[in-house]
Amino acid sequence: MTLKECKTGMSVRVENIGDSLLKERLMTMGLIPGTTVKVLRSAPLGDPMAIGIRSYNLAMRREDADKIEVTQVG
C-alpha cells in the first residue's frame, strides 16, 4: 500500500521510498524506512495531506505520497 491510500487516523511504517525528486529531502527530514508515521488529515479538496512524523507535522502532496510504500501498524 502507498501513503496516498491511507485514511485519516492510520498509523503506518515506511517500507520504501520510490525514486522521486524529493526522495533525498524527505529522507533528511526523517522519512526513512522503519519510521512510523500517522496520517493526520487531508485538505478539503484532498490535496495536500498532513502526516505526523517524529515530533512534527508535514504537509505532503498526494503525488509524492504515492511513491512511499507503507504497511499498517496497530
As a whole number of angstroms, the distance between CA 5 and CA 26 comes to 18
Model pLDDT, residue 47: 87
Q: Structural domains in the chain?
A: 3-72 (2.30.30.90)
Quick check: 27 and 3 in contact, CB under 8 A?
no
Q: Which three cell numbers stand for residue 3?
A: 501513503
Quick check: 53 and 40 in contact, CB under 8 A?
no
Residue 32's pLDDT band, with cuts at 50, 70 and 90, is very high
Residue 74's pLDDT band, with cuts at 50, 70 and 90, is confident
